[in-house]
Structure 1
Amino acid sequence: MARSWEDLSARVISGLAMVAIGLAVIWAGGHVLRLAFALVAAGMVWELVRLLAPEAHKSALAMAGAAGLALLGALYLPVMLALPLLLAPAMAGIAWVPRHRVLYLSYTALIIVAAFGMVQLREVSGMGWMLWLVLVVVATDVAGYFAGRAIGGPKFWPRVSPKKTWSGTVAGWVAAALVGVVFMAEVGPGLIGLSVAVAMASQMGDMAESAMKRRVGAKDSSSLIPGHGGLLDRFDGMLGGAVFLLLIGPWAGLPVGVN
């Protein structure tokens, strides 16, 4: 049992630091928010290229820079003009990334579109909606981690992610539902169901990243964050949840959209 908690100290310290920085960035909004998301997106693309083609160091830096600049530029343009910029770094990877091009193409597009969508969520819908999304994803991850370690039981998908259990997965849904209860005053009880759906989407994002790492034989996307691995390891669930909300929000009549 002791071994299963051996990374807890580093994970908690790093997690608290990320929460503090994240809350400050969300509260600040504006240029600070846009620059922060551009840097994080660039970091994730850098990790992605190094995962898929470890020998392509120069390509990793070039594509990371292109992704960050494209996202930052798109955030200052009208949305119709911004759309090509969001997809350009993914298309450029066909020439720059020597292997696993389909993975690079799809995952880079996911990273940049999700980051763009989260900035829009903060700027168009307000801080409350963004806090709700972040808390749903964080609660899903934290509850899954602790329930999975404490309860254990049948594995969710052992060939892809051998540590994840059904107990942790269901605990994540329960935690997300509780976040929905806290935020449902102005929206109604339907937010509980949406919170659980976003939790499921975040878990799918986590599974997708785990499957990608399995395919290339990597344990973590990098070692940037003690106890958590890399940016992709930490924000994979946020990517899934954000893209799901972008797709389903307008259809469900939620006050989310783009400038």
Structure 2
Amino acid sequence: MAPETKTSTNWDDLTVRMVSSAAMTIVGATGVILGGVWFQMLAVFVTAVMVWELWMMIRPKEPTSGMLMAALVASIMSGEIANGSHWGLALFLIVPIIGVTRLKTERKTFFAFALGIQIAGWGLVHFRMEYGFVWLIWLMLVVIVTDIFGYFAGKAFGGPKFWPKISPKKTWSGTFAGWVGAAVVGFVFHTFTDAGFWIIIVSMVLSFAGQMGDIAESALKRRMGVKDSSTLIPGHGGLFDRFDALLGAALFMLLLAEVFNVPGVAF
């Protein structure tokens, strides 16, 4: 009877993961497709929850403070989206500064991650409003395909670890495969849209930025001594665990859009 119980438990866990993944995919895809206030509300909610998860990883015994910060993040981000001013981005400093004043340790950690999460969340809303549905789908597909190609190549080929002290499961083979997958996505969009050849190169660099977002969150969890950012998503951990690569990619594209005039990215 013991082996049957073990097998049943494994299948139960797989079912939970599949149901959670399906639910997240449906909600996320619906928000992206509808755009407007629907995607804005989704982005605000996810951003606020990730800041709460960040706080709870650092100060797990102060959930009330974490909830108040999440509420403040939601309020500030909603106001900034409605206002639409780049100068208003300075308001994203409020929660990181409050966190720094309340924390005795990990002040720089909280400041950097809380600020980055908010800017990335705002960036995704900005991308959806300014560049449209297809542009955001491209960004998300690059991140998703990078993860899929990297996972299967890492399992199939193994080899030297990419950064064993931070993320012992990631390999160089998986990393390179992720770049190849991103290039494929770029080529498809180059073929079927008005995007120029540069979209292929940008897709590969964007892939690396997403991988660095994943590495950064892995380093944070290792530093905090936790396996997942939270237990909100059955079988998956927290929202921060699911969106870390997307945050890295969004921050990179914001920087690229502000500093350079990248040809061939507008669809």
Decide: shared fold, TM above 0.5. Answer: yes
Q: CA deviation at 1:96?
A: 3.0
Number of positions where the alignment pairs a residue of Structure 1 with one of Structure 2: 254
Q: CA deviation at 1:153?
A: 2.0
Q: CA deviation at 1:85?
A: 2.1
Q: Does 2:55 match 1:46?
A: no
Aligned pairs (5 A) from 1:163-178: 163-178=169-184
Equivalent residue for 2:237, pick from 229, 243, 251: 229
> Which residue number in structure 2 is paired with residue 143 of structure 1?
149
| SS in structure 2 at match of 1:76 | helix
Q: Which amino acid aligns with 1:119?
A: V
| SS in structure 2 at match of 1:162 | strand
Q: CA deviation at 1:97?
A: 3.3
Q: CA deviation at 1:256?
A: 8.0
Change (3 A) 1:227 1:196: farther
Query: Structure 2: where are the runs of 5+ without partners?
Result: 1-9
| SS in structure 1 at match of 2:129 | helix
Change (3 A) 1:43 1:11: same
> Which residue number in structure 2 is paired with residue 15 of structure 1?
21
Q: CA deviation at 1:130?
A: 0.5
Write the distance in 1 (CA, Å) between the matches of 2:31 and 2:117: 18
* C-alpha contact (below 8 Å) 1:59/1:96 kept by paired residues: no
Q: Which amino acid aligns with 1:229?
A: G
Equivalent residue for 1:154, pick from 146, 149, 160: 160
Change (3 A) 1:231 1:79: same
TM-score w.r.t. structure 1 length? Answer: 0.91
Equivalent residue for 1:61, pick from 43, 60, 67: 67
Change (3 A) 1:175 1:11: farther
Structure 1 stretch 126-135 or stretch 76-85: which is displaced more?
76-85
Change (3 A) 1:219 1:177: same
Q: Does 2:79 match 1:70?
A: no
Q: Does 2:261 match 1:252?
A: yes
What per-residue deviation string (whole Å, max 9, x for no partner) do you get for residues 131-166 of structure 1?
100111111112212222233222111111111111
> Which residue number in structure 1 is paired with residue 37 of structure 2?
31
Query: Structure 1: where are the runs of 5+ without partners?
Result: none
* C-alpha contact (below 8 Å) 1:224/1:230 kept by paired residues: yes
RMSD (CA atoms): 2.2
Question: Which of the pair has more CA radius of gyration?
Answer: 2
Q: Does 2:218 match 1:214?
A: no
Write the distance in 2 (CA, Å) between the matches of 1:192 and 1:226: 35
What per-residue deviation string (whole Å, max 9, x for no partner) do you get for residues 194-247 of structure 1?
001000000001111111111111111112223322111111101100000011
TM-score w.r.t. structure 2 length? Answer: 0.88
Change (3 A) 1:132 1:165: same
Write the distance in 2 (CA, Å) between the matches of 1:11 and 1:173: 26
- Identity in percent: 44
What per-residue deviation string (whole Å, max 9, x for no partner) do you get for residues 64-95 of structure 1?
11111111111001314522222221122112
Write the distance in 1 (CA, Å) between the matches of 2:196 and 2:22: 30
* C-alpha contact (below 8 Å) 1:87/1:109 kept by paired residues: yes
> Which residue number in structure 2 is paired with residue 91 of structure 1?
97
| SS in structure 2 at match of 1:218 | coil
What per-residue deviation string (whole Å, max 9, x for no partner) do you get for residues 90-143 of structure 1?
122112334311111000100000010110100011111111001111111122
